[in-house]
Structure 1
Amino acid sequence: MTDSSAPSDRYCRGMATRRAVLGDKHVDRAESNTTEFDQPFQELITEAAWGHVWSRPALTKRERSIVTIALLAALGQDEEVAMHVRATANTGATREDIREALLHVAIYAGVPAANHAIKIAKQVFCEIDAAGQGE
């Protein structure tokens, strides 16, 4: 945290959720790359995205994962799409779930966005399968 106070409950909840979804290895790498410049941003996403939105009980992590992948694909956020496809190993979203989400992207956000996200998902699946971690 940027000041000397202890982290907020929302930050702690967010960090636990972030680690549960993305995995310790990813979060540790992100934390080790944090600088004074982006520390406030890291705190913001940990509290707001992970501590507030991802930690809400109305949707499961699987459902949030599916929605997140579709939104990121629609916005053309390639690195984030890949990261969240990898995270499905922790959220329970299946390859079928991802395919269905990307079909929705094709209709509601455009075929090129879905086509590109499908290419990214296939690359991630190949990496996962090569590492022996596939479904």
Structure 2
Amino acid sequence: MSEDKRLTTGRATRAQVLGEAHVARAEANTTEIDAAFQDFITAGAWGSVWSRPGLSQRDRSLITIALLAALGHDEEVAMHVRASANTGASAEEITEALLHVAVYAGVPAANRAFKIAKKTLGQMAKESGA
């Protein structure tokens, strides 16, 4: 796939997963300092990996949440928990993924991620009026 095609596909996939508003904000905030980085993650992460047919967006979402939690990337955990509304990953499935984090990456990492997930899911419920 050409770089242009990966960028186009990546942008579309990124918008499906994270939401058009998130992608529009990222694009609006891009400067010459991070333009190459934005292209790299759009083409690489979204156009080459997230767009592959081997796993559903739901499965990729759960894997991503678990990996980010294990690595302690709190803002990214929150962003991908929020994205679960678009990928079809349920709160129960997020719980199961974070239990795996506790076993394989440690209780402190899972504890922190559970706090983030609870807060984020609570905010999402308020926003939806649930």
Q: TM-score range by the shorter chain?
A: over 0.9
Show the counterpart of 1:17.
Answer: 13
Q: Is structure 2 residue 40 aligned with structure 1 residue 26? A: no
Q: Aligned partner of 2:101: which letter?
A: V
Alignment of 1:20-99 (within 5 A): 20-99=16-95
Q: How many residues align?
A: 128
Question: CA 1:133/1:99 → structure 2, altered by over 3 Å: closer, same or farther?
Answer: farther
- TM-score when scaled to structure 1? 0.93
Tell me by how many angstroms 1:133 deviates.
Answer: 5.8
Task: Indicate yes or no: 2:127 matched with 1:131.
Answer: yes
One-letter amino acid matched to 1:132: S
Q: Distance in 2 between matches of 1:123 and 1:93?
A: 17
Equivalent of residue 104 in structure 1, options 100, 116, 124: 100
Runs of 4+ in structure 1 off by over 6 angstroms are: none
More helix by share: 2
Deviation of 1:96 (Å): 0.8
* Per-residue deviation, 1:126: 1.1
| Superposed displacement of residue 132, structure 1 | 1.8
Q: CA RMSD in A?
A: 1.0
Q: Deviations over 1:15-45 (max 9, x none)?
A: 0000000000011011111000100000000
- For structure 2, the residue ranges without an aligned partner over 5 or more in a row are none
Amino acid in structure 2 at the alignment position of 1:20: Q
Q: Tell me, which stretches of 5 or more residues in structure 1 are unaligned?
A: 1-6
Q: Calculate percent identity across the aligned residue pairs.
A: 62
